[in-house]
Copies of this chain bind each other. A is one copy, B any other.
Amino acid sequence: MQNFNFYNPTRIVFGADTIAALSDLVPPTARVLILFGGASAEKTGTLTEVRKALGQRAVQEFGGIEPNPSFETLMRAVAQVRSEKIDFLLAVGGGSVIDGTKFVAAAAHHQGDPWDIMLTGGASVSGALPFGTVLTLPATGSEMNNGSVITHKASHTKLPFSSAHVYPQFSVLDPTKTYTLPVKQVANGVVDAFVHIVEQYLTYPVQALPQDRFAEGLLQTLVEIAPQVLAEPTDYASRSNLMWTATLALNGLIGAGVPQDWATHMIGHELTALYDIDHARTLAIVLPALLHVQRDSKRAKLLQYGQRVWGISSGSDDARIDAAIAATRTFFESVGIPTRLSAYGLGAQAINDVLAQLEAHGMTALGEHGDVNLARSRTILETAL
C-alpha cells in the first residue's frame, strides 16, 4: 500500500424525502444562490421542494448551467454572487451543476483572472464560498469530492481543478429524484461511475487489499444493478444503489494509497471539447481501447479484474485478459452506449485533432507510469476506431 492522506468532510444525507433537511443544513441567516441547469429541475418539482425547505432565507437563483459547464456561463453567476452579496451556494442538479458551483465558489473569492484557477489546476485557490448540493443525477461523484471540470468554450478547452476549499459542506442524495431522468443520462451515469472506479483500480498491484476489494465491490454492484436501473426507473433499490455507488466511486476512498490512471478521462475530455460527445460516452470509447493497448503494464490487475468482477478464471492469461476487456465493452454496449469512434461518426481526422489538443494541453505523459505519450494515445484512439 502506498502512503496516503485521506480527508473528506462532506456530510451525506441519503434517502427518500431528505430534501427537507436543507432547513437544518443551510445556515439560517444565509444569503443563498441556488444554481441549477435546465428546465427539468423546475418541472420535476425539485426546485419547489428546495425553495420550501429554505423557508424565509434570502434566496436567489441562477439557472442555465449547461452540461460540460462553461467558464463563460459561470462567470455570469460569479457576477451575481458579487453584486448580490451571496454567502452560500446551493447546487441542485448533477455533476455539471456541482462542478460549476465549485468554480463559482472559488472564483467569487479569487483575485485576478479566474481562469487562472483552471490553469493552475486549483493551486491558486485560497478560499471559497461555502456550498451544499442536492444531487439529481448519479454519475460524477462531484457531490462528495473537491474536484471540478470546466470548459472554456471559446477555446474548446476542458480542464480539471481541485482544491481543499471546494468540498461540499453537505450533499443531499434522494434516489427518488432520479426517477424522471432520461434513460440515456442514467446509462451515462453507470458508465461514468464504472470508469472512475477502473481508473483508480486497474493499474498495477501494490498490496492494497481493502482498496481492491472496495473497487471490485462497486464494479460488481454496477454490473448487478444496471439492467434494473435502466428497465425500471422507479425501482428504489436499484436507484439507491446506483446513487451511493457513484458517490463512493470518486470520493477519494478507493483511490487512497493506490496508483491511479486518468488517461481515459484526459483523452475523453478532448473528445467532448471538440465534438460535444457526452462525457461518459467518451470514456466508453477510450477505456476498452486503452486497456487493450496497456495490457502488458496492467497485466496482473487485468487478470484480477477478470476473475473477481467477471468470474473469468479459465484460459491462458492473454485469453482471460481479452475476455475481461470484451466483457467491459459488452457491458457499456448493454446499457446502450457505443464504444467505437466510428459509431459517433468520427474517423482518422478526429484522431489527428484530438492529438493536437492533447499536445496543446500538455497531456503527453498520461497513465500510472506516465507512458501514455502522444504516440500511445494515437494507438489507443486507432484501436477505438
Residues of A whose CB lies within 8 Å of any CB of B are 1-16, 18, 207-210, 212-214, 216-218, 220-221, 224-225, 237, 240-241, 244-245, 248, 253, 256-257
- This chain's copy number in the assembly: 2
B4–A15 contact, CB under 8 A?
yes
B3–A207 contact, CB under 8 A?
no
A245–B210 contact, CB under 8 A?
yes
B213–A244 contact, CB under 8 A?
no
Known: A4-B15, A207-B241, A213-B221. 15 other contacts (CB 8 A): A1-B241, A1-B244, A3-B15, A3-B16, A5-B11, A9-B9, A12-B256, A14-B256, A208-B241, A210-B218, A210-B221, A210-B245, A213-B214, A214-B214, A244-B257
- Can you list 29 residue pairs at the A/B interface with Cβ under 8 Å? A1-B14, A1-B15, A1-B240, A1-B241, A3-B14, A3-B15, A3-B16, A4-B14, A5-B11, A5-B13, A6-B11, A6-B12, A7-B9, A7-B11, A8-B9, A15-B257, A207-B237, A207-B240, A209-B225, A209-B245, A210-B217, A210-B221, A212-B217, A213-B214, A213-B221, A214-B214, A214-B217, A244-B257, A253-B253
Q: Which residues of B contact A15 (CB under 8 A)?
A: 1-4, 257
Q: Which of B10, B217, B224, B257 contacts A216 (CB 8 A)?
A: B217
- The answer for the CA separation of A256 and B217 in the assembled complex, in Å, is 16
Q: Which residues of B contact A6 (CB under 8 A)?
A: 11-12, 14
Q: Which residue in chain B gives the minimum CB-CB distance to A11?
A: B7
Minimal beta-carbon separation of A198 from chain B (angstroms): 16
Q: Which residues of B contact A12 (CB under 8 A)?
A: 4-7, 256
Minimal beta-carbon separation of A88 from chain B (angstroms): 18
- The answer for the CA separation of A239 and B248 in the assembled complex, in Å, is 25
B241–A221 contact, CB under 8 A?
no
